[in-house]
Amino acid sequence: MTGSSRRKNKHPKRAENVKTVVVVRKGGDREEEGDDDDDVERLRRMLMCVPCDDDVVEQNHQMREEETACIAKGVKRKRGHECDVCEKVFVTPSKLARHMRIHTNEKPYECDVCEKRFSRADALQSHVRIHANEKPYECDVCEMKFRHSSHLKVHMRIHTNEMPYECDVCDKAFRNSSNLKVHMRIHTNEKPYECEVCEKRYRQSSGLNEHMRIHTNERPYECDVCEKRFTRASNLKMHMRIHTHEKPYECDECEKRFSQSSNLKTHMRNFH
Concatenated DSSP letters of 88-133: -EESSHHHHHHHHHHHH----EE-TTT--EESSHHHHHHHHHHHHT
Task: Return the CATH number at 202.
Answer: 3.30.160.60
Which of 28, 43, 73 is a domain's end point? 73
The total number of structural domains that make up the chain: 3
61: in domain: yes
Q: Which of the two residues, 13 and 133, has the higher pLDDT score?
A: 133
Tell me the per-residue pLDDT of 218-233, one tens digit each, with 9 for 90 and over.
999 999 999 999 998 9
221 and 267 assigned to the same domain: yes
165: in domain: no
Contact predicate 183/189, CB 8 Å: no
Q: Which domain holds residue 63?
A: 3-73
173: in domain: no
Q: What is the DSSP string of 23-82?
A: EEPTTS-EEEE---TTHHHHHHHH-------HHHHHHHHHHHHHHHHHHHHTPPPPP-EE
Check residue 55 and give its pLDDT.
43
Lowest-pLDDT range of 41-45, 71-75, 266-270: 71-75
When pLDDT is cut at 50, 70 and 90, the band that residue 96 belongs to is very high
pTM over 0.75: no
- Whole-number mean pLDDT of the chain? 78
172: in domain: no
185: in domain: no
